Each structure stands twice: as structure tokens, then as C-alpha cells.
Amino acid sequence: MIKLFVTTLMTLSLCIANAQSKKEQIENLTISLDSLNQVVTNENQNFNVTLDSLNQVLGKNQQYFEIEIARYSIEINHLNTQLDSLISINDSINIQLKIKNQRIDSLIFQKLELLADIDLLSAPRIDRENNWTLIESNLKWAEKDNSPAVKWFNKNVFSGNQDIYTPTCYSYLMDATDYYWGYPGSIEEDEFKSKWKSTFDLKYSSFGQAFQNGNCGWASFEIRNIEFLGDLNGGDWFKLTITGGCGENDYSNTLVRLVKLTEENGSFKIANFMSLQDE
């Protein structure tokens, strides 16, 4: 019995001890839970404080950004206004430069015209080309390339074509040839002189053809020499020495012609000529 009592007593003591331990554990857990709730509450409060602070900072930053954006917009509008002003100034400068260039071009053109007038005034001129002595004394010699004229003479002087002369010169040539031959119905001396004396030097008009002597229709002919004499009245004057004769390889005759050559639209024309020798 005693043993049973002791066993029962021990069991009861153990249950009481276990009950007390559970109570302590519950109390401890309650204290821990209260402490955890306090921590959570504190963290919530800290979070709310931090969130409020961040919202305040964010609000201030948003306001700052809005202010900065507005300021940049004002500056951009100002720069655009300045750019428009500069574009307008540039357009104005371009217009002024264009006007200035037009004036410069006009002045250059006027200067060129003036220089041309000066050259024209300085170039030797006589009123009439009917006196070889006067012509010769007024010729102006200048260094120039006369190879195109020389080539033209060699190709054209024996062709007899009307288009190598100016109309006035060709008309004079026809009358002078008629007068030289003196066949019935040809131009008489008085008419010939009245018509051409004021324009051409009739003293040197004793030729039957322009570049042949006309006695036999030369079978042989060549230009032995072409000499540039000078400029006068807008034309170049040359001295042509021509040899030829009635037979093949016969160069027994010599002609000397004084010729004024003009150039119009890239084409040469004989405007005057005289005969220094025709035999």
C-alpha cells in the first residue's frame, strides 16, 4: 500500500510539476507574443513614418521636376525665338549679299564696257579707207596669232566665191573688174569714181581679178608670202605676195595685194583690198 501511495504521490507531483511548466511556457509565450506584437507595431510605425517622409520627398522632387521642366520649356522657347531671329537675319544677309553681288556684277560689266570703249578709242581709226598712205600710217601692229587667217587665205583666195567678201567689197570688186576690162557696157570712169572714190583707193584698183591678173586664167598659182601689217578700223591688214602664170608650173607673174580681213560670227570676210603689183 505504501508503495502504491508513494507511486501515486510521485505521479501527482509530476503532474503538478508538468502543469506548472505548461503554465510557465504559456506565460512565456504570451510575453513573447506581446513582445513580437510590440515589435510589429513599432515597425509599422517606423514604416509609416518612413513612407510619409518618402512621400514628402517625392512630392518635393515632383514639384522640383515640374519647376525644372517649366524652366527648360521657357529656355527652349527663348532659344527657338533666337533661332527664328537668326534665320531671319541670315535671310536678310543673303538678300543683301545677292543685291551686293548684282551690283558688283553690274559694276564689272560697266567696267568691261568702259575698258572696251577705251580700247575702241585707243584703237587707230580713220574715217575712210581710200588712201593707202593714210591707212599705212595709222596701222597698229600687235603680237597675235594669225595662223587661222593664214590658213583661211591659203584655202579661199583662189576660190572666187562671193561669200569670201563683204557685200560692199564684192560690189566694188565687180565694178573695178568691169572698169579694168573696159568692154562695151561696162562701168564708165566717171560713174566708177563717183560711186567708189570716197570708200576705196582707186589708185590701186588696176586688177582684172582679185587674186589673179586675169590675162589667161592662171594654170599655176600659189601664195608665196603672207605678212601681217597691223590693225585698223576693226580689221587686220595683210600683204599677200602671189605668184602664178598661164602654163603649168609657171610662176613668172607676181601679184601683191593689200587685204583687210574682218571676222564676223567666226567667219572671215575680205572688206578691202588694193593692188600694189599686178604683172
pLDDT digits (tens, 9 = 90+) for 79-102: 888 888 888 888 888 888 788 787
Instruction: Return the C-alpha cell found at 205.
Output: 584698183
- Helix, strand, or coil (residue 7): helix
- Answer yes or no: are the C-beta atoms of 224 and 277 closer than 8 Å: no
Instruction: Return the C-alpha cell found at 222.
Output: 600659189
- Helix, strand, or coil (residue 191): helix
Instruction: Return the C-alpha cell found at 27.
Output: 506565460
More confident residue, 153 or 101: 153
What pLDDT, on the 0 to 100 scale, is given for residue 151?
95
Max Cα separation, the chain?
Answer: 202
Mean pLDDT for the chain overall: 83
Given the DSSP bridges, would you call strands 235-245 and 220-232 parallel, antiparallel or unpaired?
A: antiparallel
Predicted confidence band of residue 20 (pLDDT cuts 50, 70, 90) = low
Alpha-carbon span 242 to 256, nearest angstrom: 6
- Answer yes or no: are the C-beta atoms of 256 and 185 closer than 8 Å: no
182-201, pLDDT tens digit by residue?
888 889 999 999 999 999 98
Alpha-carbon span 269 to 262, nearest angstrom: 5
Within 8 A by CB and 6+ apart from 147, the residues are none
Residue 116 has pLDDT above 70, yes or no: no
Predicted confidence band of residue 240 (pLDDT cuts 50, 70, 90) = very high
Within 8 A by CB and 6+ apart from 139, the residues are 124, 229, 230, 231, 232, 237
Q: In sequence order, what are the beta bridge partners of 257?
A: 240, 275
Residue-by-residue DSSP string for 56-122 = HHHHHHHHHHHHHHHHHHHHHHHHHHHHHHHHHHHHHHHHHHHHHHHHHHHHHHHHHHHHHHHHHHH
Q: Provide the residue ranges of all domains of the chain, joining segments of one domain with +.
A: 1-122, 132-278
| Predicted TM-score (pTM) of this structure | 0.56
Q: Which has the closest alpha carbon to 223: 279, 173, 152, 276?
A: 152
What pLDDT, on the 0 to 100 scale, is given for residue 1?
61
How many degrees, rounded to 5, is the angle at CA 95 between CA 89 and CA 101?
Answer: 135
Alpha-carbon span 107 to 110, nearest angstrom: 5
Instruction: Return the C-alpha cell found at 105.
Output: 556684277
193-239, pLDDT tens digit by residue?
999 999 998 887 777 678 887 667 788 889 999 999 999 999 999 99
Residue-by-residue DSSP string for 144-182 = ---HHHHHHHHHHTTT--GGGB-HHHHHHHHHHHHHHH-
